Amino acid sequence: QVQLVESGGGSVQAGGSLRLSCAASGYTFSRRCMGWFRQAPGKEREGVATVYTIYTGHPVTYYADSVKGRFTLSQDNAKNTLYLQMNDLKPEDTAMYYCAARGTYGDSWCPLADASVYGLWGQGTQVTISS
């Protein structure tokens, strides 16, 4: 059974940092899309960063414009864990953050704008940034 479990959320002041983790069980990263999405109260879920992993090459990563230069997505294939390092956090980053994955093998389309193509989701971890 595939399971995604997020951790690392919390409350920090603006300008601070957090690192989110997503541990995947029953699932391998190779040639599949994974990513981070977030949803603030009253807003739609939005893509933060996605990655298509190729073991024989470099992973291809996509970032939302709002987080470019501040957030970094990385992964530890040996641990089957996806990370999101978030620096210079802003109050507008406050949201529930979700780890997501596509079950389709070999499809490198990893959209930020279409959460519906990701069939696997974690339970979410709350990030709250105070000004």
Q: Is the model more confident about 121 or about 78?
A: 121
Q: What is the pLDDT of residue 73?
A: 96
Closest of 70, 69, 34, 36 to residue 54, by C-alpha: 34
In this prediction, residues 13-40 reach a mean pLDDT of 92
- 79 Cβ contact list (under 8 Å, min separation 6): 23
Distances in whole angstroms, Cα of residue 120 to Cα of each of 16, 35, 89, 100? 29, 10, 27, 5
Q: Compute the distance between CA of residue 83 and CA of residue 6 in angstroms, rounded to an integer.
A: 9
Q: Compute the distance between CA of residue 6 and CA of residue 98 in angstroms, rounded to an integer.
A: 7
Q: How far is CA 99 from the centre of its chain?
A: 5
**Averaged confidence pLDDT in the chain:** 92
Q: What is the pLDDT of residue 19?
A: 98
Q: Compute the distance between CA of residue 37 and CA of residue 77 in angstroms, rounded to an integer.
A: 20
- Assign 91 to helix, strand or coil: helix
Q: What is the pLDDT of residues 99-130, one digit of tens each?
A: 999 988 888 889 999 999 999 999 999 999 99
- Contact of 99 with 75, CB cutoff 8 Å: no
Q: What is the pLDDT of residue 56?
A: 57
Of the listed ranges 10-19, 24-33, 44-53, 74-83, the least confidently predicted one is: 24-33
Q: What is the pLDDT of residue 55?
A: 67
